[in-house]
């Protein structure tokens, strides 16, 4: 199997293309300050992951900006601090402020020359629009949780994407699902028989960060520590 075997790259966005952990942590710092105790970055991200997954399961049709508002509310309650509705909603609206990884835009521009680029993301359309400006590429298709009414790893999200791509003549064998989260992406991708590339953005860190620990078969076919590394691997294949 080589990278040249595929016609389409289907991307998770947050954690893969956008540095959501830095964005989440920055957005939580005012709430953490109110606790008056040292809550480290890893602890904050792990608690975010716990509440995000629980809220996605409880309210699968809630758009992501509102869901983040509720996650912030849950964290305030857990940490025993008071926060205003404005503060909850400010965190909910923070996705467009989350930075892109430094290599994302350049690597996407290169990959766009060789593949169709597709987004499959646990986000709402308005929030993704802000992120897309940071990525600087026109995706060939964008499928969000808002469009589908559920959140990954729900199989409905992958089925929705596969059905839409099949209408464009792109089958499973043509797709390389490219993502950071083993929990949200690689486990369900394997259940659907999709090849996948793990962008292991946390390669130099322990724990799972802002994603839950995977349950199930989290195998992948390629592993890269950045999107730039993936693009460079493709360049080498092309040069052979």
The DSSP result for 190-223, as a single string, is HHTT-EEEEE-TTTTS-S-TTSPPP-S----SEE
In this structure, what token pair is assigned to residue 183? 């929990």
The Cα angle at residue 141 between residues 135 and 142, in degrees rounded to 5:
65
Question: Looking at 5, 12, 103, 147, which residue is catalytic?
Answer: 12
Q: Which helix (H) or strand (E) holds 91?
A: helix 85-92
Separation CA 120–CA 108 (nearest Å): 15
Rounded Cα–Cα distance for residues 87 and 90 (Å): 5
3-state secondary structure of 141: strand
Please indicate whether residue 12 is annotated as part of the active site.
yes
Helix axes 64-79, 20-35, angle to 10 degrees: 30
User: Which residues are identified as catalytic?
Assistant: 12
């Amino acid at each position: 199997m080589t990278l040249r075997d595929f016609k389409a790259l289907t991307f998770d966005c947050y954690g893969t293309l956008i540095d959501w952990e830095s964005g989440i942590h920055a957005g939580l710092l005012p709430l953490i300050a109110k606790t008056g105790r040292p809550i480290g970055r890893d602890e904050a991200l792990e608690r975010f992951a716990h509440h995000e997954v629980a809220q996605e399961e409880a309210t699968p049709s809630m758009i992501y900006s509102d869901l983040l508002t509720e996650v912030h509310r849950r964290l305030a309650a857990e940490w025993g601090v008071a926060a205003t509705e404005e503060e909850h909603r400010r965190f909910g609206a923070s996705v467009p402020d989350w930075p892109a990884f430094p290599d994302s835009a350049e690597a996407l521009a290169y990959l766009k020359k060789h593949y169709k680029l597709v987004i499959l993301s646990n986000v709402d359309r308005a929030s993704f629009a802000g992120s897309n400006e940071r990525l600087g590429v026109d995706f060939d298709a964008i499928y969000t949780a808002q469009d589908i009414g559920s959140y990954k790893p729900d199989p409905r999200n992958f089925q929705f994407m596969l059905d839409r791509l099949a209408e464009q003549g792109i089958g499973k064998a043509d797709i390389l699902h490219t993502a950071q989260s083993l929990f949200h992406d690689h486990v369900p991708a394997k259940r659907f028989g999709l090849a996948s590339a793990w962008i292991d953005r946390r390669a130099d860190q322990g724990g799972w960060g802002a994603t839950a620990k995977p349950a199930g078969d989290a195998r992948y076919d390629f592993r890269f520590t950045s999107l730039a590394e993936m693009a460079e691997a493709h360049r080498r294949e092309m040069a052979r």
